[in-house]
Amino acid sequence: MMSLVLTLVAQRDATPLDDATIALARDAVDGAQTITTLSAGEAVDIPCPATAVEHLPALRAAFGDRPIDAVLTHRDARRKHLLVSDMDSTIVTNETLDDLATYAGIGEKIAAITARSMNGELDFATALRERVALLKGFPASLLEKAWKDVRLNDGAKELVQTMRQHGAHTALVSGGFTFFTSRVAALCGFHENHANTLVIDQDVLTGETGHPILGPDTKLALLKNLATQHALPPEQTLAIGDGANDLPMLKDAGLGLAFYAKPIVRNAIAAQINHTSLRTALFTQGYPASAFSGD
C-alpha cells in the first residue's frame, strides 16, 4: 500500500530535477510508476510504501552534493490548516538580535551566545537574558537600523499567502522581539505574531526583556492552543523552524519541517529542507506551483 508520498524538490538555479533523478528516487523507495509533477524541473510527488522511511537516508546520500531535498509525508491530511513558523533564519535570513548587537558594536559576543543557544547548549531563557543585558544603555534607534537589514527568505510570502488563500491560519512565533515580528508578519501576511519585548526607557535599551520570556515551551503551547481554537487535529498542523528552541513544536506538529536547521534539530526531525526554499513547504503539502500566491 502506498501510504506515504516522497516529495523531491531541486534548487531551481543549480540543478534540474530530470527523469534520471526521479527514476533513481523512485527505485530507491519502491515508489509508484505514476508520479505527479508539481513544478516542471523543480518538484514532483512520488507515492511510496511505509518502508520508504528506511531508505530515505541512503537516497539523500545518493544525491551527493546536488541541491535536492527529499521529504516524506503521509498521504492523508497533506494540506495543513495551521502554520506556526519561527522567524529568525527561517522566515527571514537574519538573526535579528545578532544584527542589533552588530550595530551596538558587540556583535561577536552576542552571536557566540546565540549559536550556543540555537545548538541546545544553553537554556534559552538564560541565553536571551544574557544577550539582552549586554545591550543596556544603547539607543533604541539601533532597532530601526537593524530592521533595514532584514531580508525575507525566498518563498516566505508564497508560503504564508498560499496557505491563507486555502483557508489555513498562520502564526509567526519567535524568541526574538515584537519590534521585528510585527513588521515581518505584515510583510508576509501572517494572521498573528508572538515574540518577546525589549524594555525601553526614554529611548534607551534597559538591558531587560518583558516577562514571561517566550521560549520553546511557549512555541509548543501556541501550536497546541491555536489547533484547539481552530478545532484542528494535530495532523493538520505545520511547524517550521531551525533551532533547538523550535524542537518541541516541530516534534508535536503533524508535519514539522527543519529549515536549514542546526545539527541538534536535523538529528531529531526527519522532514528537512536543506537545499531549497520555503516553496518546498508548499510542495510537501501537495501544492503545485500553479496554485502559489504571493511573490
Domain extents in the chain: 1-76, 79-295
Residue 295, pLDDT score:
63
8-state DSSP, 153: P
Q: Which of 18, 27, 76, 88 is catalytic?
A: 88
pLDDT by residue, tens only, the chain of 295 residues:
779 999 999 998 888 899 999 999 999 999 998 999 999 999 999 999 999 999 999 999 999 899 999 999 999 999 999 999 999 999 999 999 999 999 999 988 888 888 888 888 888 899 899 999 999 999 999 999 999 999 999 999 999 999 999 999 999 999 999 999 999 999 999 999 999 999 999 999 999 999 889 999 999 999 999 999 999 999 999 999 999 999 999 999 999 999 999 999 999 999 999 999 999 999 999 999 999 997 6
Q: How far is residue 197's CA from residue 184's CA, in Å, rounded to a whole number?
A: 15
Question: Furthest-apart CA pair in the chain: how many Å?
Answer: 66
- Is 86 labeled as catalytic in the residue annotation? yes
Residue 16, pLDDT score:
85
Q: What is the CATH number of domain 1-76?
A: 3.30.70
Say whether 79-295 and 1-76 share the same fold: no
Q: How far is residue 26's CA from residue 10's CA, in Å, rounded to a whole number?
A: 15
Q: Which residues of 241-255 are buried (b: 16+ CB within 10 A; e: fewer)?
A: bbbbbbbbbbebbbb
Q: What is the CATH number of domain 79-295?
A: 3.40.50.1000
Residue 195, pLDDT score:
97
- Is 30 labeled as catalytic in the residue annotation? no
pTM (two decimals) = 0.95
Q: Which stretches of the chain are DSSP H helices?
A: 19-28, 52-62, 96-103, 107-118, 124-133, 142-147, 156-165, 178-188, 216-229, 247-252, 263-266, 279-283
Q: Which of 45, 69, 76, 86 is catalytic?
A: 86
Q: How far is residue 191's CA from residue 157's CA, in Å, rounded to a whole number?
A: 13
Question: Quick check: 61 and 69 in contact, CB under 8 A?
Answer: no
